[in-house]
Amino acid sequence: MSKKQYVDKDYSFESVKEKDKKGFISMFAVMLGFTFFSASMLTGGKLGVALSIKDFALAVFLGNLILAIYTGALAYIGADTGLSMHLLARYSFGEKGAYLPSLLTSFTQIGWFGVGVAMFVIPVSKITGINIYLLVAVSGLLMTSTAYFGMKSLTILSVIAVPAITLLGCASMFRAVNAIGGASQLLNIAPKGKMGLVTGVTLCVGSFISGGSTTPDFVRFAKNKKIAVTTTVVAFFIGNSLMFLFGAIGAMATGYSDISDVMISQGLIIPAILALGLNIWTTNDNAIYTSGLGISNITKVPKSKVVIFNGILGTIGALWLYNNFVSFLSLLGAMIPAVGGIIIADYFFVRKRKYESLKEANFKVINYKAIGACILGILAGKYLTIGIPSINSLIITGAIHIILEKAIKEKTQKNVQCDEYAA
């Protein structure tokens, strides 16, 4: 019996039970840690040097608003059903059709886990002289461990990491701004590029919409839908905005987007290593946790065991992935919002927020309509020349899914009525 409880602690194959649901503070800590993402700082750096302060603030606000609406909808679904993204996909893609989004998400997240490990160990090895392969092994093991122990460990890590990164980052930013003559001098810095507002919003949304698609994997533990949606939306506006701000100010004042690089330039070596490590750790443990749930959906092996394998795989390939695979991972990541579009459309518009329990549901083996809609949406996101690519993909995928489901359902009902009339 104890073995079964241990295996089921992450609810890889079922809805989260009420006794394991979390309150506002725990969920807010996890979701803030989720939004503390190094790539957002790099994006913030690009925006900071290419936009005016006014346009930067507007681009970040609009980008986070779009992300908040998208992830908020997924948070509502996750909390209402208590299911991970991978189990939710069964309702729209079919029981085995859901393997496609699970494989896509898991493969991408394992890859980014490896890239994250490399992003940490390469600069640390240069600074300290410690053997890079030893750093890879130790870092990969530590980052995998928090994901292995599940939501409790993710919460503890976030409670430690979020305040630490915030305090270290703010202190470093104030120091950088003072070094160039204060805030007035910062505001007088003219944009170096000619980036439009739409491009800025596109970069903001694109930097996190792939990761945001996995929101149900975490907020399914929320005690109710209000906590899930509130913590998700507020976390995106606070956490993501802070990362963009760190990146923008860093790039404008010092030429570096990543807060750890700014600290190194200031001679703050230990704080730099701490900030870099915690920032990547909060991202990587979420990535490997999600990948574990995805592979569990395919193999039926409990998530806790899968996480170990995924973590080892990502760790072994860390340096190779970093040097050879980032562009391909970015391409795969751009496809994931289409999956979120299908889940949102199916839950709110096709099923009208009425999902049967996982045990009672009669799933199709493969729903080819959903897969077809997904492919068309991905192509639209890639080739449409107007709007925001990831949002184009999301909306078009969802719209096609709704149309196909309703059209084919009505056609089937008419055929049944004709057969009954003929009889």
**In this structure, what CATH number is given to the domain that contains residue 35?**
1.10.4160.10
Question: What is the torsion angle, in degrees rounded to the nearest 10, for the CA atoms of residue 61, residue 63, residue 151 and residue 95?
Answer: 150
Report d(CA 330, CA 332) in Å as an integer: 5
Written as one string, the DSSP assignment of 4-18 is HHHHGGG-SSSPPPG
- Residue where the block lists tokens 């990831």: 390
> What is the percent of the chain with per-residue pLDDT over 70, rounded to a whole number?
94
pLDDT at 419 over 50: no
pLDDT score recorded for residue 177: 87
Indicate whether 422 pLDDT > 70. Answer: no
The pLDDT value given to residue 5: 46
Burial of 270 (0-12, 13-18, 19+ CB in 10 A): exposed
Contacts made by residues 261-265, CB under 8 angstroms, sequence distance 24+: 261/123, 262/172, 262/173, 262/176, 263/168, 263/172, 264/123, 264/127
* Residue type for position 416: V
- The proportion of the chain whose per-residue pLDDT surpasses 90, expressed as a percent, equals 58
Q: pLDDT tier at 94 (50, 70, 90 boundaries)? A: very high
Q: Which of 171-175, 215-219, 331-335 has the highest mean pLDDT?
A: 215-219
Residue 382 belongs to some domain of the structure: no
Instruction: Tell me, yes or no, whether 419 lies in a domain.
Output: no
Averaged pLDDT for residues 304-325: 91
Instruction: With respect to residue 397, please indicate whether it lies within any of the assigned structural domains.
Output: no
The separation between CA 397 and the C-alpha centre of its own chain, rounded to angstroms, equals 19
364 belongs to a structural domain: no
| Domain-located, residue 284 | yes
Residue 254: helix, strand or coil by DSSP?
coil
CB 142 within 8 A of CB 124: no
Strand partners, 22: 222
Could you give the residue ranges of the DSSP H alpha helices within 82-150? 85-93, 99-128, 132-148
Contacts of 184 (CB under 8 A, 6+ apart): none
How far apart are the C-alpha atoms of 411 and 414, rounded to whole Å? 5
Name the percent of the chain in helix, strand, coil, to the closest 5. Answer: 80, 0, 20
Do residues 280 and 40 lie in contact, with contact meaning Cβ atoms separated by under 8 Å? no
Give CA 326 to chain center in angstroms.
16
Residue 98 pLDDT > 70, yes or no?
yes
Residue 412, number of CB atoms within 10 A of its CB: 10
Element (H, E) at 332: helix 326-333
The string of pLDDT tens digits covering residues 236-281 is 899 999 999 988 888 888 888 777 888 888 888 888 888 889 989 9
Q: Examine residue 401 and state whether it is found in any structural domain, yes or no.
A: no
DSSP run (H or E) holding 354: none
Q: How many domains does the chain have?
A: 1
Instruction: Write phi, then psi, for 22 (nearest 5 degrees).
Output: -110, 155
Judged by DSSP in three states, 277 sits in: helix
60: left (phi over 0), alpha (psi -120 to 50) or beta: alpha
pTM: predicted TM-score of the whole model, two decimal places: 0.90
Residue 132 belongs to what domain range? 13-326
Q: Per the domain annotation, does 189 fall within a domain?
A: yes
| Per-residue pLDDT reduced to its tens digit, 374-401 | 999 999 988 888 888 889 999 999 999 9
Chain centroid to CA 415: how far? 43
Once rounded to an integer, what is the mean pLDDT over residues 218-226? 97
390 domain-assigned: no
Residue length, the chain?
Answer: 423
Q: Are 207 and 39 in contact (CB under 8 A)?
A: yes
